Amino acid sequence: MRREVVFLTLFFLGASSLIISQGQKIAPTPPDKYASLRLKMVKEQLEARGIKDKVVLEAMKKVPRHLFVEQKYWGEAYNDYPLPIEEGQTISQPYIVALMTECLQLARGDRVLEIGTGSGYQAAVLAEITDQVYSVEIRKNLAEKAKKTLVQLGYNQVQVKWGDGYYGWEDQAPYDAIIVTCAANHVPPPLLKQLKEGGKLIIPLGSTLYFQTLTRITKTSTRPKVEHILGVRFVPMVGEIKKKRGT
């Protein structure tokens, strides 16, 4: 649900752009060459591997992944593997982004918290589905850069905060869903506390040195429901979590 703002100048809509000037007709420009790569990505990497949620698939078709990485990686942006960003971090492979988003079972209007903004790509995908997206990034430079990219692309509804994701974002709680995009050796208690009853939390859980299990936790009035999805490997969560338990 990207908000398009038109100032009678150049703006982009999906796969093509339109030039508008006062007193002139709308003239289409050549289609965005990356749009066809996004469609191919969705068909061959997501649908072919079992992603079924049409809302998630449509969101993945719209978000320009190449604009969340350095220009030298644009040609690889729609391949199904992670790509490096700044400060030793990565942008997750498209399939994992789609899978984690699908696991949240989001509805329009849901309030979502993301832990680990990174490039901002996952937040943009979430923002195509709901207009209440909050994201916490512990690295100040990444937080600022992601916010700038999101605003430039029209995702003004995404709120980015520089801080330690271990503590969530209490001021904006409770959340219908929480997505953690970095590996943790345990579930931070503040995140469960900030999750609504019936809400879902998706997190790569396990050793931060090796591999983790993508885990979905549904909060109930009694004991949380825990589901193990598949094996993954994410960059580790840093900050307060390092003081709580060993890696």
The end-to-end CA distance of the chain, in Å, is: 38
pTM recorded for the entire structure: 0.84
**The pLDDT value given to residue 1:** 53
Q: Burial letters for 134-151: b for 16+ Cβ neighbours within 10 Å, e otherwise?
A: bbbbbbeebbebbbebbe
Query: Cis omega (within 30 of 0) on the bond before 174?
Result: yes
**The pLDDT value given to residue 18:** 32
**The pLDDT value given to residue 245:** 60
Structure tokens at 124: 């943009």
**The pLDDT value given to residue 61:** 98
| Catalytic site includes residue 92 | yes
**The pLDDT value given to residue 8:** 32
Its CATH class, for the domain covering 33-244, is alpha beta
Of the candidates 16, 21, 92, 119, the residue annotated as catalytic is 92
Pairing outcome for strands 175-180 and 111-115? parallel
The tens place of each residue's pLDDT in the chain, 247 residues long, gives 544 443 333 333 333 333 323 333 333 334 578 999 999 999 999 999 999 999 999 999 999 999 999 999 999 999 999 999 998 899 999 999 999 999 999 999 999 999 999 999 999 999 999 999 999 999 999 999 999 999 999 999 999 999 999 999 999 999 999 999 999 999 999 999 999 999 999 999 998 778 999 999 999 989 999 999 999 999 888 988 877 764 4
**The pLDDT value given to residue 240:** 83
Q: Give residue limits of the domains in the chain.
A: 33-244
**The pLDDT value given to residue 98:** 98
